[in-house]
């Protein structure tokens, strides 16, 4: 894959940081770029982390302002006053309608302008089955749509699609990046550095890490 380039949709969290490090190892640092979306997340901590990590890893990062999302949708991820809960249909109220479709569309427009075909997204349907736009079928359909929309051969990669959180930690460990990701990434919905240990995101992350470390001990 020597002169192929890749664009990673990068939030600064565990999953997208794992994808970014994997992309650097696959394509070479000079062939990887990151794109980060700002859309009125509850906390800036995540965005600061994303900037810090991209800089630390020596990857060019483009930050796009999608705060217009606030004009058309309301949800707990963007509203500090709202409590995070799971609705009766199993979808957490942190779900932002259309988010991954928008992210992929903007990422593709940017990528084409840069001559980049490979777009990498850390979406995963294993643990977060409540998010419809994290499903493989959605990503595949979006890939077709983008190729038709721009007459360009985009290839969307979702390396974490079928991994559990424990397997994502295992992948980080294989790449020699477990401690880095553990210490540098931010995943907490409540914006607490080091994690609140209570929100669904923290619980998932910590349970996955404990599971992985446990399985490692068993070997």
Residues forming contacts to Zn ion in the complex (CB under 5 A) are 188, 190, 196, 199, 202
Residue 142 C-beta-side C-alpha neighbours within 13 Å: 25
Output the smallest distance, CB 86 to Zn ion, in A. 15
Is 59 or 199 the residue whose CB approaches Zn ion more closely? 199
Closest distance to Zn ion from the beta carbon of 47 (Å): 16
Smallest gap from Cβ 197 to Zn ion, in A, equals 7
- Which residue, 164 or 190, has its beta carbon nearer to Zn ion? 190
Which is nearer to Zn ion, 64 or 82 (by Cβ)? 82
CB of 46 to Zn ion, least distance (A): 11
DSSP letter for each residue of 64-117:
EE-TTHHHH---TTT-TTSPP-B-TTS-BTT--TTHHHHHHHHHHHHHHHTT--
DSSP characters over 151-212: T---EEE-TTTT--HHHHHHHHHHTT-HHHHHHH----TT--TT--S-SHHHHHHHHHHHHH
Q: Closer to Zn ion at the Cβ: 63 or 192?
A: 192
């Amino acid at each position: 894959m020597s002169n192929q380039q890749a664009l990673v949709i990068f939030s600064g969290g565990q999953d997208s940081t794992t994808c970014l490090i994997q992309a650097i190892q696959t394509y070479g640092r000079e062939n990887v770029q990151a794109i980060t979306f700002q859309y009125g997340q509850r906390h800036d901590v995540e965005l600061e982390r994303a900037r810090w990590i991209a800089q630390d890893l020596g990857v060019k990062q483009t930050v796009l302002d999608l705060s217009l999302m606030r004009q058309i949708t309301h949800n707990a991820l963007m509203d500090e006053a709202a409590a995070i809960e799971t609705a009766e249909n199993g979808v957490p109220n942190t779900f932002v309608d259309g988010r991954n479709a928008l992210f992929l569309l903007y990422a593709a427009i940017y990528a084409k302008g840069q001559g980049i075909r490979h777009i990498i997204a850390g979406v995963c349907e294993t643990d977060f089955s409540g998010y419809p736009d994290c499903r493989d079928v959605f990503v595949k359909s979006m890939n077709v749509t983008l190729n038709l929309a721009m007459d360009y051969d985009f290839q969307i990669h979702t390396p974490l699609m079928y991994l559990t959180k424990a397997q994502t930690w295992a992948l980080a460990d294989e790449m020699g990046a477990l401690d880095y990701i553990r210490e540098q990434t931010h995943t907490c919905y409540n914006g607490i550095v080091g994690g609140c240990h209570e929100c669904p995101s923290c619980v998932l992350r910590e349970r996955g890490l404990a599971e992985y470390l446990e399985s490692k001990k068993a070997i």
